[in-house]
Amino acid sequence: MPPLQPGQNGRVLLTGARGFTGRYVRAELEGAGYQVIDAVAAAGPHAITVNAANPPVPADGAALSEIALDITSLEHCRAVMQTVRPDYLIHLAAIAFVGHADAEAFYRVNVIGTLNLLQAMADTGVTPKRVVLASSANVYGNAAAGILAETQPPAPINHYAMSKLAMEYLVKPWCERFSIVVTRPFNYTGVGQAPQFLVPKIVSHFIDRAPVIELGNLDVERDFSDVRMVARVYRDLLQADCAGQTVNICSGTPYSLRAIIAMMEVIAGYAIEVRVNPAFVRQNEVRTLVGSTALLHALVGNSGAVPLEETLRWMTQ
């Protein structure tokens, strides 16, 4: 079977393309024959910066690979949509660090930014075959123990989660106009994730053979996936029969920080001293987040799930 040619499956506008997840999603899409146009918050060396009043329109879009986009500006979103006219939109751009200090920014970027993209598509007559919007499993909050299906009532407990749930509610009316799927990714990790996140922090301590690590609540349980699997899910959702759905992206397996430490001790070949730092224990900590994979697997199969130990070994190479 001949290899897929770039762009033969259509043009994808990918927001958050420079982020941890975006880099892997881009690689997956290009490998599957899509032309990917990175929407970046600031103009890169190869980015086109559009003029909202008179946006350039490439003759066939073939040379366009990166474009500057300010999702907090509706006018700018309109100009970008008029320029790119994507066949698909994957919207990953967000403020995603729960501990981010500016509460207002969560809503300005995560909610208003998403609505601006949808309004801009409507205003410019752009109708993508699929719009994939990234929410978060944090919308479930401190849910009761057990596996969380998409029918679990939301109970967000921080501004990040509240902004994502607000986004979910506010895009519902747009589902009548566009083929939208909302994803709720649970925790995931991999090479390149920022060090303020827990798993990269733990891995880096072992790589450096640090004698001590300070953590928060060691009994917090999370459903960890590999970022490469998450990227495959985003790719597969472009073609899946999932319009109007909200779907978890998860492994279905919970891991405590104690368990991750134990895995890393085996991988690294030494035991580390773990100290609980009260400053790292959040009062509104979500204790357990474990997702149901039933809907995900029904839509896209298992998308190449990766055991967490394999992910950790990859991150230590």
Burial classification of residue 107, based on how many CB atoms lie within 10 Å of its CB (0-12 exposed, 13-18 middle, 19 or more buried): middle
> Has residue 67 been placed in a domain?
yes
Mean pLDDT along residues 191-216: 94
Backbone angles phi, psi at 181, to 5 degrees: -125, 135
Full residue range of the structural domain in which residue 27 is found: 11-316
Active centre residues (catalytic): 160
pTM higher than 0.85, yes or no?
Answer: yes
Stretch (H or E) spanning 202: helix 198-207
Query: Using an 8 Å Cβ cutoff, are 130 and 90 in contact?
Result: no
Q: What is the pLDDT of residues 209-238, one digit of tens each?
A: 999 999 988 888 889 999 999 999 999 999
Token pair 């001790």 is found at 265
Q: What is the CATH number of the domain that holds 171?
A: 3.40.50.720
Say if residue 44's pLDDT is above 70: no
pLDDT at 179: 98
Contacts of 170 (CB under 8 A, 6+ apart): 111, 114, 115
> Has residue 5 been placed in a domain?
no
pLDDT at 221: 86
Burial classification of residue 274, based on how many CB atoms lie within 10 Å of its CB (0-12 exposed, 13-18 middle, 19 or more buried): middle
> Has residue 6 been placed in a domain?
no
Token pair 């909050």 is found at 141
Distance from the Cα of residue 281 to its chain's centroid: 24
Structure tokens, 64: 């366009």
> Has residue 257 been placed in a domain?
yes
pLDDT at 220: 82
Q: What is the pLDDT of residues 51-65, one digit of tens each?
A: 544 444 443 445 689
Q: Provide the mean pLDDT of the chain.
A: 89
Mean pLDDT along residues 71-99: 91
Say if residue 313's pLDDT is above 70: yes
Say how many domains are in the chain: 1
Token pair 């979910």 is found at 168
CA nearest to 227, candidates 312, 154, 142, 293: 312
Question: Mind giving me the DSSP string for 264-280?
Answer: HHHHHTS--EEEE-GGG
Q: What share of the chain is helix, strand, coil (3-state, %, to 5)?
A: 40, 20, 45
pLDDT at 62: 53
pLDDT at 18: 92
CA quadruple 44, 12, 118, 226: dihedral sign = negative
Instruction: Please state, for a pLDDT cut of 70, what percent of the chain lies above it.
Output: 86
Say if residue 301's pLDDT is above 50: yes
CA nearest to 194, candidates 54, 9, 10, 21: 21
Q: What is the chain's length?
A: 317
Say if residue 101's pLDDT is above 90: no
Query: Using an 8 Å Cβ cutoff, are 135 and 246 in contact?
Result: yes
CA dist., res. 217 & res. 229, Å (int): 27
Q: What is the pLDDT of residues 130-157, one digit of tens each?
A: 999 999 999 998 765 678 999 999 999 8
Strands 221-223 and 88-91: unpaired
> Has residue 43 been placed in a domain?
yes
pLDDT at 63: 63
pLDDT at 145: 60
> Has residue 4 been placed in a domain?
no
